[in-house]
């Protein structure tokens, strides 16, 4: 069978008895200590990925910065880690502003996004001195002008629809004509003129984003030319969207290849003195984490269903946009006797499928099942469906494990009820 271990966080290995080791910690011991399901982050791997992005970008364009797209994994501990490695943060709502500030980020290194920002969120951004607000529409400008006090100017970017359709799922496509995000070039030009005349806003530049889980570098380069046509500005935020490797078949471009294409286009189309910003999210965190489940039921018939103690409550990516994952029985990754099964969750939906058609070795009730590449968009979309208690997050490094997000309790579920 293909090398399942290669999908787990860099540095993962199999112990002599076949047990999975992530961040120097055995998966079975993590499950015993923290329960299942548990989301395990290989801290050293995540730090290395953050440094790679910073080093590779600055080597190609000195006046640049990397901001982590927090929505991919808005855990305070993850935000704090990337800030420690020199990154800024991209936030997409009031809650992400609050966690970013708690994580210790310099507000000047934060970029606020969103196609429907509320008065409260705009007020938070202004109050805390958020460095850049990506304006998505004229209503954003109205709210900002009302919130910014006299004598101050809020730096803004204008989000532009580049008219680039990348090869990805429609639910994570954002740069195509008709996108709900940003403005077509003609409308963007009109709004730029208005912002430049505003006494309370500082027109800093443009923002573009073509989508998520993109496994081809060309759409990123195409988008640069589209924004360049709107004129020269001090700052260009070229977004994120680079895909991650979820399955044996995926071929995700390495960071150097992605940046070669992106910065090559920038050299061809953008001012040499401009500041460039990129916003990696999925490609920053996906590979750094794995989720460990306990098998609760094995049901054989027309299909073999292996049910685990989690599902769409901790991984909504499959149901939301069909993301494919792989999985393995802990301790039996390399056994030759594999049975093709459907791994399903515990939630009352037929769509609660974690992996449809995956080879597992002798799945049995009580086994641990590990799913790699769960660092992006799993924690952030965790939910309480069927009274599900959201799962803990554990950082593993050099054989030491530390809890950074505890498991929800039933008391937590009741805490918002009004007597």
Q: Which residues are catalytic?
A: 348
How many residues does this entry show for the chain? 419
Q: Where are the beta strands (DSSP E) in 362-399?
A: 368-372, 393-397
322: left (phi over 0), alpha (psi -120 to 50) or beta: left
Residue partners of 187: CB distance under 8 A and separation at least 6: none
Question: Could you give the CA distance from residue 282 to residue 90 in angstroms, rounded to a whole number?
Answer: 13
Residue partners of 337: CB distance under 8 A and separation at least 6: 361, 362
For residue 213, give the nearest of 159, 262, 280 by alpha carbon: 280
339: left (phi over 0), alpha (psi -120 to 50) or beta: beta
For residue 97, give the nearest of 135, 124, 132, 69 by alpha carbon: 124
For residue 111, CA distances in Å to 131, 135, 226, 308 come to 6, 11, 21, 38
């Amino acid at each position: 069978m293909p090398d399942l271990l290669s999908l787990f966080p860099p540095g993962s290995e199999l112990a002599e008895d076949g047990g999975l080791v992530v961040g120097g910690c055995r998966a079975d011991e993590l499950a015993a200590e923290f329960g299942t399901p548990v989301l395990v982050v290989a801290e050293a791997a995540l730090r290395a990925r953050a440094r790679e992005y910073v080093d590779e970008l600055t080597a190609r364009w000195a006046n640049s910065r990397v901001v982590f797209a927090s929505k991919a994994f808005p855990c305070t501990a993850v935000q704090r880690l990337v800030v420690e490695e020199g990154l800024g943060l991209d936030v997409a709502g009031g809650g992400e502003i609050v966690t970013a500030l708690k994580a210790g980020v310099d507000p000047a290194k934060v970029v606020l996004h969103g196609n429907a920002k509320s008065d409260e969120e705009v007020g938070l951004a202004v109050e805390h001195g958020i460095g850049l607000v990506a304006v998505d529409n004229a209503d954003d400008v109205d709210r900002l002008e009302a919130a910014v006090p006299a004598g101050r100017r809020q730096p803004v970017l204008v989000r532009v629809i580049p008219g680039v359709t990348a090869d990805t799922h429609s639910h994570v496509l954002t740069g195509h004509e008709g996108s709900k995000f940003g403005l077509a070039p003609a409308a963007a030009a009109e709004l730029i003129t208005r912002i430049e005349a505003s006494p309370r806003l500082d027109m800093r530049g443009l923002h573009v984003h073509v989508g998520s889980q993109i496994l081809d570098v060309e759409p990123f380069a195409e988008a640069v030319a589209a924004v360049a046509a709107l004129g020269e500005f001090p700052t260009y935020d070229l977004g994120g969207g680079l895909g991650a490797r979820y399955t044996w078949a995926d071929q995700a471009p390495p960071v150097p290849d992605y940046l070669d294409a992106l910065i090559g286009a920038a050299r061809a189309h953008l001012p040499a003195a401009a500041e460039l910003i990129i916003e990696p999210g999925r490609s920053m965190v996906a590979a750094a984490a794995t989720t460990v489940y306990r098998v609760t039921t094995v049901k054989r018939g027309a299909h073999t269903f292996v049910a685990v103690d989690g599902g769409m409550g901790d991984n909504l990516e499959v149901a939301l946009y069909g993301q494919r994952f792989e999985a393995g029985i802990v301790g039996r990754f390399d056994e030759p006797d594999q049975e093709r099964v459907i791994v399903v969750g515990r939630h009352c939906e037929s769509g609660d499928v974690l992996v449809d058609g995956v080879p597992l070795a002798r799945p049995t009730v009580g086994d641990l099942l590990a799913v790699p590449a769960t660092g992006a968009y799993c924690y952030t979309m965790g939910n309480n469906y069927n009274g599900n208690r959201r799962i803990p997050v554990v950082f593993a490094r050099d054989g030491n494990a530390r809890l950074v997000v505890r498991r929800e309790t039933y008391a937590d579920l009741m805490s918002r009820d009004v007597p």
